[in-house]
Amino acid sequence: MRDRLFIDGKWVAPAKGGTFTVIDPATEAVVHQAPAGTGEDIDAAVAAARRAFDEGPWRKMSGRERAAVLRRVSDLILVRRQELARLEVIDNGKPLPEAVWDMEDTAGCFAFYAGLAEEMDDNPEEAIPLAEPRFSSKVVREPVGVAGAIIPWNYPLLMASWKVAPALAAGCTMVLKPSELTPLTALELGAIVAEAGLPAGVLNIVTGLGPDAGRPLSEHPGIDKLAFTGSVPTGAKIMAAAARDIKNVSLELGGKSPFVVFADSDIDKAVEWIMFGIFWNQGQVCSATSRVLVEESLYPALLERLVAESAKIRIGNGLEDGTLLGPLVSKGQYDKVLAAIERGKAEGATVAGGGRRPAGLNTGYFLEPTILTDMPETSAVWTEEIFGPVVCVKPFRDEAEAIRMANDSRFGLAAAVMSKDRARCERVAKAFRAGIVWINCSQPTFTEAPWGGYKQSGIGRELGRWGLSNYLEVKQITAFESDEPWGWYIKPA
């Protein structure tokens, strides 16, 4: 576990020498004292990134040269995936198989953007047809500059890769600030990129508390682009900070995603995908389908099966074989989720299953998979993101009501629909006001496809070619090709 910051290709002590505590959420034991960066360290990291962008070789390299480094990063992550996954479990609490999958996806993300970097060499510019024959015009894409990235604690290294990989592929340099709850694998990324041959200053990693390191990064005048994943309130503050300097910003924020299940659905398949949509990663997923809408005729049988199957989920330390639900990430998050359940009950919700600390797990931030019913549509548990293993289930009468209820949210990140009638699924998918829609499933995420939401769920798209575009500026270059004089002010003799 690293005890220094990664700035300008070197491991350096925080300017003020501070540390903060890293706690294993399964045991509540202190596992590390991580380096606590502050504004001075952010200044140093931004300065290093600026020098690397303005004077260094990275943005001047061909796409293929950058791709070679990104592929080495991918390979090194794969070689170390078991070790990195164990660090992620200790830091975040998720089951080890989920963490291993995250590491494989992280490696895949770097490999994917290596491919797009190579493609940039094949298409360095785009000719623009003009109606005026005396002119030619073309478009070139250039790196946006120095990017700042602030990432969440639910997928620590994977969310870092969603920002770092496309930024580096584009030729940008970056300052990365991970969550103070989960700093361990982000610091390891510094060692990995150094071993892969990334030039000094291209990626800088500053751990620390939000007010001490995150805020100075979001407000720093030397940053050209800000990318943030996290809560709506924090996203709003970052957007306000970016507005002062008219910074390029992309935000991936919260969600309260609906899952509409029609009566012709197979109950086994529906229950499996409902559970995967809310209990994976302890429900700490921005796109979690936490509002389940079930057609009235199927509702009683599906609810009974969902309660029974959820009670079978093995809860425990993520490092133990067979664990399918680990602890919540921190005491603060655990308390927030419990408070949300209590508020839901006060507003009329019924706890159909779970809602308590599991028997025999007296240490750690563990919570049973929780199923709530009977809540009014105005209830906070129905309208607000809980970010825990809590699903709200309500019946609906017909397709029109399902669509109305699904779209009645200030969020619009994701939505899911299940039915054997594919035409109906396609119709409902088009009616959803959400940036990501799943048919007959929930949560599959592919690096090739865009990721982002409508409404208060964010601005912009990550992943796929859209993720690369986040870190590119578009420049028009137009030339006057005629030998004839323009003649507007100076008339031909």
Residues recognised as catalytic: 252
Residue 488 sits at the vertex; the CA angle it makes with 484 and 489, to the nearest 5 degrees, is 115
The values of phi and psi at residue 383, to 5°, are -105, -25
Question: Helix 156-170 and helix 63-79: axis angle, to 10°?
Answer: 160
Is residue 304 helix, strand or coil? helix
Question: Helix 81-92 and helix 96-122: axis angle, to 10°?
Answer: 120
* Residue 6: DSSP 8-state: E
Q: Would you say the C-alpha torsion 333, 337, 340, 346 has a positive or negative sign?
A: negative
Q: Tokens representing 147?
A: 């990017």
Measured CA to CA in angstroms, residue 297 lies from 142, 261, 293, 395 at distances of 56, 11, 12, 9
Helices (H) and strands (E) counted in the chain, each on its own, are 15, 22
* Distance, first Cα to last Cα, the chain: 78
Q: Tokens representing 201?
A: 């200053």
Length of the chain: 493
Distance, C-alpha 35 to centroid of its chain: 24
Instruction: Give the E-state strand segments of 104-154 in sequence order.
Output: 125-127, 135-143, 146-150
Query: From CA 372, how far away is CA 68, in angstroms rounded?
Result: 50
